[in-house]
């Protein structure tokens, strides 16, 4: 049996009530933001602006709409290749890896994450090295390769 003091129950009620009132507006706001990003990537803006928009648009979709995330990442990859920007290429590969990790397609995720890590290491991009190392540890853990995962964590 759970004991609830009057003050605690009232506070809990207010938190739940406020959450139920605020959450729909927050979701609507986030959807509007994602819609605006989707419009940005279809316009004639500099590649640097598109890449930033793609990045912000892809990340939430790596879990909730993986097919869309993969489509966006393919578009991002085209810009990276056309622009011959190595960091952008690593960023697109990173999104492929994360999306495939989230769909449990580890054999597809690993080559991308390895590529990101080793390319980043070659140019001393410690930020992407850290991101890739973490994701590789998660992938290996999910595959049941715990000792290898610890080495990358």
Centre a 10 Å sphere on the Cβ of residue 116 and count the other Cβ atoms it contains: 28
Q: What pLDDT shows up at residue 25? A: 54
Cβ neighbours of residue 68 under 8 Å, at least 6 residues apart?
Answer: 61
Please give the Cα distance from 80 to 91 (Å, whole number): 9
Which tens digits make up the pLDDT trace of 60-77?
A: 889 889 999 999 999 999
Q: Is the distance from CB of 43 to CB of 79 less than 8 angstroms?
A: no
Q: What pLDDT shows up at residue 15? A: 58
Q: Is the distance from CB of 69 to CB of 38 less than 8 angstroms?
A: no
Say whether pLDDT at 32 is over 60. yes
**What is the DSSP annotation of 96-127?**
HHHHHHHTT-HHHHHHHHHHHHHHHHHTT-HH
Q: What pLDDT shows up at residue 108? A: 97
- Is the pTM higher than 0.85? no
**Closest among 88, 64, 86 to 75, alpha carbons compared:** 88
- Counting every residue, how long is the chain? 153
- Bigger pLDDT: 72 or 50? 72
Which tens digits make up the pLDDT trace of 93-147?
A: 999 999 999 999 999 999 999 999 999 999 999 999 999 999 999 999 999 999 9
């Amino acid at each position: 049996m759970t004991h609830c003091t009057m003050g605690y129950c009232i506070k809990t009620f207010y938190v739940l009530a406020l959450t139920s009132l605020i959450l729909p507006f927050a979701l609507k706001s986030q959807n509007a933001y994602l819609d605006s990003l989707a419009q940005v990537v279809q316009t004639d803006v500099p590649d640097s602006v598109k890449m930033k928009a793609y990045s912000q648009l892809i990340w939430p979709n790596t879990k909730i709409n993986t097919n869309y995330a993969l489509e966006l990442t393919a578009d991002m990859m085209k810009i990276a290749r056309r622009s011959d920007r190595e960091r952008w290429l690593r960023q697109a590969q990173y999104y492929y890896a994360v999306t495939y990790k989230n769909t449990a397609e580890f054999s597809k995720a690993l080559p991308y994450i390895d590529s990101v890590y080793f390319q980043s290491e070659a140019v001393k991009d410690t930020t992407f090295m850290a991101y890739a190392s973490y994701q590789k540890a998660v992938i290996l853990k999910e595959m049941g390769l715990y000792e290898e995962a610890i080495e990358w964590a």
